[in-house]
Amino acid sequence: MQKLLYLFVYLASILYLAPLAQAQQTKFTISGYVKDASNGETLIGATVKVKETNQGAAANEYGFFNITLPQGNYILIFSYLGFDPQEVPIILNKNITINTKLTAHSVQTGEVVVTSDRTDRNVKSTEMSRLEISGEQLKQLPVVMGEPDVLKAITLLPGIKSGGEASTGFYVRGGGPDQNLVLMDEGVIYNPSHLLGFLSVFNSDAVRNVEIIKGGMPANYGGRLSSILNVSLKEGNNQKYSYTGGVGTIASRFAAEGPIVKGKSSFMVAGRRTYIDALVKPFIADSLRSNGYYFYDFNLKTNYILSDKDRLFFSGYIGRDIFSFTSPRNKDISFNISWGNTMASVRWNHIFSGKLFANLSLVYNRYDLNNEFTFGLGDFKAKFIASSGIRDVTAKYDLQHTVSSKHLFKYGGQYTLHTFVPGIANGNLGSAQINQEIDRQYANEYAIYFLDEWKINHRLTLNAGLRYVAFNQIGPYTKYEFDESNLKTGVSQSWKTLESISFYHGLEPRLAATYLLSEESSLKASFTQTYQFLNLATTSGAAFPADLWIPSSKIVKPQQAFQYAVGYYRNFSSNEYEASVEAYYKPMYNQVEFKPGTQLFFNQNLESAVISGQGLSYGLEFFFKKKFGRTTGWIGYTWSRTTRQFDELNNGNAFFYRYDRTHDMSFVLSHQLNKKWNFNFVFVFGTGNAVTLPTGRMPFRVGYDLQTNEPKFVFIDLYDKINSYRLPSYHRADVSFTYMHKKTEKWESSWNFSIYNIYNRANPFFVYFVPDIEKQEVKAYMVYLFPILPAVAWNFKF
Amino acid sequence: MQSSFKNIVILLSFVWITSSCEKEIDITVDPSNPVVVVEASINQFSATLNYVFITSSIDYFKPDLTLGGIKGAQVFIYEGVISGKDTLYPEYNKFQMFSVGETPFIDSLLPVVNGIYYNPYFAGKENTCYLLDITLPNGKKITGKTQIPKVVPITKVYYEIKGNPNKDGKRDALMSFSFIDPADQNNYRIALKKGGDSLAIGWGNADTYRTFDDALVNDVERTYPFAGGFKETDTVNLYFSTIGRTEYLFWQSFGSANNSGNPFSTPAVLKSNITGATGSFTGYGVSFKQIIFK
């Protein structure tokens, strides 16, 4: 209560006293959107700088900016990476609106690109541990099988680790993959991977911007412990129709965009499908040709400029992975498994005034997993359909309020109704009918927040915020009591519709400060506290479709993390180069694991298998980037340590987290060779994953084969310490060349030739063992996925 | 141009699909302390499926043919007697299980596998509880309890021979069987042995195993189908057994642990139902059918 009182006094003093103090000098506000001149797309993060005062502002995630200045004449400089800066003179004697259109650099002119985003935002803003990649940058990076991928790209950044080659799961500062909030136009994507982890669900043709926040999370974000991955889709060209696409080694994609009403509204549709199934069939045995796997995804986005003050956006996504099998010899034996995300969001931007921007979002998203098995014969067929998933309905309202030239407020609230579908089973086993459903679970999740970005003086800026979060598991629900043998005791407790079952709430203070040491260097510090009320139950390191989300409940306590970070930021040569060093310390509590061997599928008593423990991660991250010129790129290096401790595991001793990596390094280089050829190079190195290996064998299920006169048995592996062995280190280098055909007015195309793993490094995917009892020895084999691997992709636009 | 592009795409895809590789590496892992492992099995159907197998775990990287069998243990099975609400295990219902390889009479009946204890005179009974009592040569005590549940008979067996002949000239066969699941909670284990011989010695001689309960379907006649794997003229020996709940949990965890080779799985832990060692004492209420696909 006392904290709320302090907050009230603080707000009152700013809202009422600040305008009085500033009344001596009349001030006005300049606001508007920064857009791409070619297609009308807003430019997220574009900067506005006042030439005379060096004051600046950045466009928000909708491209809206505002800046408050005393009456006078000014020159505003608008800039954005890859676009020509634009100077706009203004006479400021009233509040004004400026919608600025920037023009992209043209590489076809033959001129070397030497100027670009001269922003010093990384030094001067309070944001730390935040990184951005545009859709265009994404396509430049060499990737496996020539398919650009958002999640593969972000793992080249310091502090973000990849789960491995067959995994788009990412691990941020010691957190698990479920501790990352993955958003597509504000809709939650619960499983961001296709092809069992080889690719992400984000079609690069539909992506406009990717933002990742790995620490120092401002108060307007929450819901997960470790990071926010915010993927913004293209809005669509509101000037003319255009089409982009690509033919890659395993998938093709196509996107169309254009005006619905020129200059007022636009659409973007994009689709992608893999043809790995069709390509492989000619080469596989007849008996396997009935197997099929493919994925597809489809994006739709429209936006309408309703008035100078109102914009409406609609975004939709559906993606599925489908695996099917029908016995080539008997069509009565078949199974189909499909899984994927669905998302739809409506967002309404409203500008109350140049100082007050608001966004209302309504989002529906879900993740579904469906299994269908058919087998049997004649009248005694068995058919079994099982499904599980999670569904959310979210309403979110955010306001951005420039109270004065020193105070930028952001405040708002969010409500989500979660529906958890742990398992539905329907079908028949012969004449016996199956019609069962594990009780659905429902929960309300609330958040309200307030933050103030306070420019105390030229050198010191503070971003202070407070987020209040609450999670309420509600009925209808029946909780059954189970005995030690996992059978219902007959005792149960029921809750009526909307009746509270468990309630958790808490305050999440967020604090970030930047102190400018000079115009090109700063010190930053941040503190973040976060809660997480959703837990991913999976037995897999990869994002396998067995993923099941369970809520915090009476038994499962909310996860909690604190993160402390300090950093030094330094730009060189007029911001051409940027460098940073960040140190972080991140304790995590109520971390969730499941008892070894727990059956996740259709387990009515899953909660009792949950074990709770602690995690700790700390590390040092170095980042050096060259931002523009013919040669661009970065080097990132992280030293870190991550552990977990559970009383029920490893005799209660702390053990290395599976994705703990002492050393993690990435080097990314892009070089414009001439106006037709571009060269890219990537090198990554990481300490090997920590794994648990067997230390003994227990013979079981003995028998004696009278035909061979040999004993028959199986060995069950015996394990000792968890994750005490390290796989060999991971490293590889990739190159790619992009050849740009001569651009015409109506057509442009390029070929991307890439070689993944150019020195053919055998990187460990997993190890397995083959015993040779005769020789009394065991051989260890390391399986690696990708040797040297060339790929070609053709991209076009017209 | 289009044709060559298509060829390139197909070639590259093929390279990728077939490019997953492996190589031998050296790994040194310190062995864990040995643990005593017990697998004890009793049933009402076949004497050669009543045995106690006692071993010591072995170093993972030094497997040997002796299987770590422990000889010289005193092994007894007590048949329970109901007394009111209690089950008593009187001395007069005690059966000693003899070590194969150390007892001439037993050796004439069974091949020698160290650590196996057996008594041809022991016969299990339905709806009866049993106590296992082991004293190891070092004096360590191991105990466990089980019951042989009421047998649930196989009511029907169906098979069908379908399709065109395979390369060996035989067509594929499909099989399912039915049983009536009783009203109370039941747990089942299937062992299936292909070939003319039945499970003469030890459950480990089977080819296929399944463990399931009646959580999804209860108190009705139900069908259990097998998804292929049989051919025309095959002979299949089907052992359909009822087992207790703790035994079911053990065999379910055994299935998970037996799959720990999956590189993505978390190592599973066996849910032992005996004390003093790791393992299981399982009573099987066996229903048996032999099917010849002809």
Q: Give φ, ψ of A359 to 5 degrees.
A: -135, 130
Q: Please, which residues have CB within 8 angstroms of residue A710's CB and are 6 or more apart in sequence?
A: A704
A644-697 pLDDT tens trace: 999 988 889 999 988 888 999 999 998 888 888 888 899 999 998 888 888 888
Neighboring chain B residues of A776 at a CB cutoff of 8 Å: 62-64
* B264 with A719: Cβ contact below 8 A: no
Neighboring chain A residues of B164 at a CB cutoff of 8 Å: 329
CB-based contact A641:A619 (threshold 8 Å)? yes
Q: Please, which residues have CB within 8 angstroms of residue B227's CB and are 6 or more apart in sequence?
A: A333, A375
Greatest CA span in chain A, whole angstroms?
Answer: 103
Report the mean per-residue pLDDT for chain A.
83
Which residue in B22, B175, B202 is closest to A784 by CB distance?
B22
Does pLDDT of A17 surpass 70?
A: no
Give the per-residue pLDDT at A552: 94
A445-503 pLDDT tens trace: 999 999 998 988 888 999 999 999 999 999 999 989 988 888 888 899 999 999 999 99
Q: How far is B83 from chain A (nearest CA, A)?
A: 25
A710-723 pLDDT tens trace: 778 888 888 888 88
* B258 with A714: Cβ contact below 8 A: yes
Residue A233 backbone class (left: φ over 0; alpha: ψ -120 to 50; beta: rest): beta
Question: Measured in whole angstroms, how far is the alpha carbon of residue B70 from the centre of its chain?
Answer: 21
**Would an 8 Å CB–CB cutoff place B17 in contact with chain A?**
yes
Does pLDDT of A727 surpass 50?
A: yes
Does pLDDT of A358 surpass 90?
A: yes
A384-413 pLDDT tens trace: 777 888 999 999 999 999 888 788 899 999
Does pLDDT of A352 surpass 70?
A: yes
Give the per-residue pLDDT at A99: 85
DSSP letter at B111?
A: -
Type and span of the H or E element at A347 = strand A334-353
Does pLDDT of A120 surpass 80?
A: no
Which residue in A330, A540, A771 is closest to B264 by CB distance?
A540
Write out residues 72-131 of B within 8 Å (CB-CB) of A. Answer: 110-111, 113, 116
CATH no. for B154-271+282-292: 2.60.40
**Would an 8 Å CB–CB cutoff place B39 in contact with chain A?**
yes
**Does A557 or A697 have the greater pLDDT score?**
A557
* A711 with B67: Cβ contact below 8 A: yes
* B16 with A544: Cβ contact below 8 A: no
Give the per-residue pLDDT at B5: 40
Residue with tokens 């299994």: A371
Does pLDDT of A108 surpass 70?
A: no
What is the average pLDDT across A404-432?
86
Distances (CA, A) of A34 to A44, A61, A62, A82, B226: 8, 11, 9, 14, 64
Give the per-residue pLDDT at B198: 62
Fold of A124-213: Ferric Hydroxamate Uptake Protein; Chain A, domain 1 (2.170.130)
What is the average pLDDT across A37-41?
81
Share of chain B above pLDDT 70, in %: 82
Q: How far is A701 from chain B (nearest CA, A)?
A: 5
* B264 with A766: Cβ contact below 8 A: yes
CB-based contact A786:A759 (threshold 8 Å)? no
Does pLDDT of A353 surpass 50?
A: yes
Give 3-state DSSP helix, strand, coil % of chain B, rounded to 5: 15, 45, 40
Q: Which of B4, B36, B217 to probe by mutation at the A interface, max A CB count within 10 Å?
A: B217
Does pLDDT of B185 surpass 90?
A: yes
**Would an 8 Å CB–CB cutoff place B275 in contact with chain A?**
no
Which residue in B62, B67, B267 is closest to A713 by CB distance?
B67
What is the average pLDDT across A86-108?
80
Length reported for chain A = 798
CB-based contact A653:A597 (threshold 8 Å)? no
* B62 with A776: Cβ contact below 8 A: yes
pLDDT grade for B6, boundaries at 50, 70 and 90: very low
DSSP letter at B7?
A: H
Does pLDDT of B25 surpass 70?
A: yes
Which residue in B111, B203, B221 is closest to A432 by CB distance?
B221
Which residue ranges make up each domain of chain B?
A: 36-148, 154-271+282-292
Give the per-residue pLDDT at A544: 44
* A717 with B252: Cβ contact below 8 A: no
Taking the C-alpha atoms of residue A28 and residue A54, their distance in angstroms, rounded to an integer, is: 17
Which residue ranges make up each domain of chain A?
A: 2-118, 124-213, 227-689
A216-237 pLDDT tens trace: 889 999 999 999 999 999 888 8
Fold of A2-118: Immunoglobulin-like (2.60.40)
Q: Which residue of chain B is at minimal alpha-carbon distance from A542?
A: B264
Fold of A227-689: Maltoporin; Chain A (2.40.170)
Which residue in A544, A596, A696 is closest to B59 by CB distance?
A696
Does pLDDT of A115 surpass 60?
A: no
Whole-model pTM: value is 0.84
Give the per-residue pLDDT at A532: 96
What is the average pLDDT across A546-556?
86
Lowest mean pLDDT among A103-112, A173-182, A650-659: A103-112
Give the per-residue pLDDT at B103: 65
**A356-375 and A160-162 as β-strands: parallel, antiparallel, unpaired?**
unpaired
pLDDT grade for B147, boundaries at 50, 70 and 90: very high
pLDDT grade for A286, boundaries at 50, 70 and 90: low
Q: Which of B37, B50, B223, B256 to probe by mutation at the A interface, max A CB count within 10 Å?
A: B223
Half-sphere exposure of A731 (CA within 13 A, CB side): 12
A575-593 pLDDT tens trace: 788 999 999 999 999 998 8
Which residue in B34, B37, B201 is closest to A706 by CB distance?
B201
* B31 with A332: Cβ contact below 8 A: no
